[in-house]
Structure 1
């Protein structure tokens, strides 16, 4: 059934503040929860954090005190939502276990977006990035078995395979080559704008998570691996955020953010398997409908435009966490040797890439390679979780850069 959030009234803003008892949610069971329930929690935490950051940035450049007060009121509710969502994660889970779930989000959410994206240039951006997150999952899974002596397949189930992607060591690129061309705000389909906001939010939260939990480990290889992959997440945030048209007004951005929150909460509600978590998605959707109404009113008053002129008349098909094994194997067999040059992609190395590789590695093996070497020394082989036959490029090495 189609759902147009502009046609629905949510919970009035003055009724949205919750007390401590209402925010004291029961976390999901770390051993029995559907892996994709944890993925939905992590994804929605990223969406809420992005909404909060955006509101703060908007407030800092807004000269109107009444608008700043309105933003602050909505932002407080967003903060309560973020605390509720993120506190659904189980306290028993180690940071490394949560990291593996973060990478499962990156792999399967980005794969789904790439499959659904109608614009070829934007689709290529998601296809390019997901092969790198796929490799990060593989590196962290090897670290997990080394440190905690458990296999990552217990966390991701048979939903997501664990195997090498584009090697992390060749993901270090000149920063200028991480900037893509933006979509045209006047021509892009509404779903493309939502995709860009969603993946930017997810990657931004991953970057923030790694920069904070990495130093908590004592093992040198763990600290170093978080450092290295954390730097790649910076590249990914730049890569995805640059897809958004910088010509969008602040009011467009505000409305798009609120509409995307409605879209994401509606998607999670439609696909959630845990009844208690589903109830939270439904509650937050009803809150976001009011936030969207407020944003639309602000746009009409201050941007002199109707929100319908930039929004889809109804929500697109729900964002769905589902296996993407065939899709990823196809990418592995066709795009593993891509790198970036300017706003495009090439298969041959270029001077800027070589310079960055020399600067960052300095002739030494990076942590992402050493973690595999150390795993092989301990267990005789690297850790992989393949569910449907041999890896089509399991022995493929990225061609030498020249």
Structure 2
């Protein structure tokens, strides 16, 4: 990593508080914002929300009054940072338009992480998850066309394809099968540490958002679709949080959170084209460098350990939000029919009739499935579903147009039908 935040000087904490006018930032214009600038801001919001929630939970498990005070001060500033980022969203950007941005960043960020993950098991964790967010984008794009009469390509800019991924109907797995094997932080590559925490930040924020705004729709199908996909996002939070090292101390985790924020803002500065948003990221980075210094100082004082040892073994690449169409198509073609059993990833055809996946899937999908219904209703109203397949037909034959069974992949559909019979 060419930038080492441990060795930089940031803005003194007492100079970081901002007044109401400074916090009430001018929103971007949705007609002008680059899709990846929107996506990057959504990710930054998630990173800040995670930092604030972590700090609250650490404070609730801390006896040291000086540590509580430091957490409270840093947390207040990070809450201001989160509001600043979140207030960039304009009022005329609808809930569904913001949702499309959420799913686009989930796809592109996770795709980059998977391609830049040194650990093979963790790489598979990310490859597994990205196909599900990819399918969510397709479902919401069809809902957006039905409700608002607009095409999602105007939001994602043809940079992310809109076509079925692993169908949402088959993503519903027993909770036991969402728990993954954890890494060992002290032995892990630093890239694995920031990768895992960043993806978790994003997925947690998606869950928070859907849980908050999903009931704001009047249309019953929209409310149902948000409810269904929110439950998959809850699975994803379990999926990603379980790869973190559960033996890391609160202070280790605080240092890693602050380091991760530095890494994220430093990464955004490598690519952000909007000068006003870029200036916000630069300001926040200089704030986060000081937050990291404070967390590191508390770790040295309380645990008598050197925090830089957590991130010494290797260099970090800057997170890049970019097109991943060819890579996603390759993963989709080879992994669409994977599911999970305990902490392992297996083809659905390898499961036995007694596996809990089938009973759980039948239970939650009983009678009516919103993610399938939105495609059926779009076809009924407009003669076909909405897709934006810029690079050709879907790479999975069972998910191509007329060959598709309402957007269901062949192996999954056949196996589920046999189990139901």
Taking structure 2 as the reference length, the TM-score comes to 0.94
- Indicate if the aligned counterparts of 1:172 and 1:357 stay in contact, CA closer than 8 A: yes
1:118 corresponding residue in structure 2 = 118
Once the two structures are superposed, what CA deviation does each residue of 1:167-205 show, in whole Å capped at 9, x if it has no partner?
A: 000100000100000011231111101111000010000
In the alignment, the residues of structure 2 paired with residue 50 and residue 175 of structure 1 have an alpha-carbon distance, to the nearest angstrom, of: 22
SS in 1 for 2:187: coil
In the TM superposition, residue 365 of structure 1 has moved relative to its aligned partner by 3.2
Residues 55 and 83 of structure 1, relative CA distance in 2, 3 Å threshold: same
1:253 corresponding residue in structure 2 = 253
1:285 corresponding residue in structure 2 = 285
Map 1:2-401 → 2, pairs under 5 A: 2-312=2-312, 316-347=316-347, 348-350=350-352, 351-362=355-366, 364-396=367-399, 397-399=409-411, 400-401=414-415
Number of residue pairs the alignment of both structures matches: 401
In the alignment, the residues of structure 2 paired with residue 156 and residue 329 of structure 1 have an alpha-carbon distance, to the nearest angstrom, of: 17
- Indicate if the aligned counterparts of 2:47 and 2:201 stay in contact, CA closer than 8 A: yes
Q: CA RMSD in A?
A: 1.2
In the TM superposition, residue 45 of structure 1 has moved relative to its aligned partner by 0.2
- Indicate if the aligned counterparts of 1:336 and 1:398 stay in contact, CA closer than 8 A: no
**Runs of at least 5 residues in structure 2 that lack an aligned partner in the other structure:** 400-408
In the TM superposition, residue 390 of structure 1 has moved relative to its aligned partner by 2.1
In the alignment, the residues of structure 2 paired with residue 267 and residue 91 of structure 1 have an alpha-carbon distance, to the nearest angstrom, of: 27
In the alignment, the residues of structure 2 paired with residue 12 and residue 186 of structure 1 have an alpha-carbon distance, to the nearest angstrom, of: 30
SS in 1 for 2:173: coil
In the alignment, the residues of structure 2 paired with residue 209 and residue 21 of structure 1 have an alpha-carbon distance, to the nearest angstrom, of: 26
In the TM superposition, residue 314 of structure 1 has moved relative to its aligned partner by 8.0
In the TM superposition, residue 315 of structure 1 has moved relative to its aligned partner by 6.1
Once the two structures are superposed, what CA deviation does each residue of 1:264-309 show, in whole Å capped at 9, x if it has no partner?
A: 0011111101000000000000000000000000111112110121
Stretch deviating more after TM superposition (178-187 or 367-376): 178-187
In the TM superposition, residue 346 of structure 1 has moved relative to its aligned partner by 1.0
Ranges of 4+ aligned residues in structure 1 off by more than 6 Å: none
SS in 2 for 1:61: coil
In the alignment, the residues of structure 2 paired with residue 270 and residue 38 of structure 1 have an alpha-carbon distance, to the nearest angstrom, of: 15
In the alignment, the residues of structure 2 paired with residue 314 and residue 14 of structure 1 have an alpha-carbon distance, to the nearest angstrom, of: 33
**Runs of at least 5 residues in structure 1 that lack an aligned partner in the other structure:** none
- Indicate if the aligned counterparts of 1:4 and 1:315 stay in contact, CA closer than 8 A: no
In the alignment, the residues of structure 1 paired with residue 164 and residue 158 of structure 2 have an alpha-carbon distance, to the nearest angstrom, of: 16
